[in-house]
Every structure is written in C-alpha cells, then in structure tokens.
Amino acid sequence: MSNFDPSKLSVKYLPPATEFRPVDSRKYTLTHSDATGELSLAIGGCYDFNAVNPKFRDEVFAEWIPQMGQYVLSGRVYISGGEFDQQYSKIRFLIFQKELDLALKAMVYGDRCFYTNYPWLLDSPIFIYFESVYPEFSKLLYYGTPRKYLSAALQPV
C-alpha cells in the first residue's frame, strides 16, 4: 500500500447500517490485498470478521464510541498475541504505523456521505490501539481527526 487511490476502494454496508446512520456503535473493518492493492471497507453494527485473514491479521478495526461528552473514533490493530516473536512484532508495528495514514484516509473517505449528516464528527479525535503482548508495541496513539484524512484523500495525487 502507498498513496490512497479511491478507485481501489470498495465499500459495503452491513445492515442495519446505511450511508447516513447510525452513529452509535458504527464499526469499520478495513482489509487489503497486497497482490492487487485493493482496499475493502465494511461499515456496520458489527465487524466483518469474514473479511479478516487469520494468518496475516493485517486488518484495521474502528468504531464510533461516546466518551466524556463527545464521540471518539476508536481503532485497533493487531500486532501480536504471542504467536509472532518480538522481532517480527516490531516489523508489524512499524508497518502498521507507516500504513495507518492510508488506512484512515480510506476509512474516512469511504464513509464520506456519513459526515454530511454528522459534520461535527470530522473534528473528533482518532485513537488507535496497537494490541501486543510485547509492552513496547502495546500502545494507544492519537491520529488526529477525520477532517485531516478526508482533506488529504480529496487532494489530487
């Protein structure tokens, strides 16, 4: 994955989610193909576990959750539960850090109609949890706001 290309993104809605609702518990599952560069985004009330490759675990999950009077886009990526050694976990961590910009552009762009009904969500914080048994890769990091990624995704390449 490198630059975001909207033509390589496919989006599907898992009922009862639509382009415009709901906000509460709206969940995103982003997967990709290394071979084709295609990105797949599922938006629904649950994650699309059928899209997840259990061998690679390179998906990005995120959901809207209310927190302290505002909504937060809370995401997570899987680094290691112990099946990957520390060195390979470090590589996974670094790759996820590098590719999260593209993943968040795809997520926000793919659901851009949603923001026409909820424009205030464009300024909500995005936090991504890196899930790992190794403490140095188990982190919660701030990734800006959806507005940042939508603006970047709409810029010509």
Each residue's pLDDT tens digit, 27-50: 999 999 888 889 999 999 999 999
Tell me if the pTM is above 0.75. Answer: yes
User: Helices in the chain by DSSP H: which ranges?
Assistant: 86-110, 114-117, 146-154
* Ranges in the chain, pLDDT < 70: 1-2, 157
Rounded CA gap, 22 and 85, in Å? 39
Which residue, among 78, 73, 76, 67, has the nearest Cα to 108 in the 3D structure? 73
Scan for tokens 């033509």, then name that residue. Answer: 7
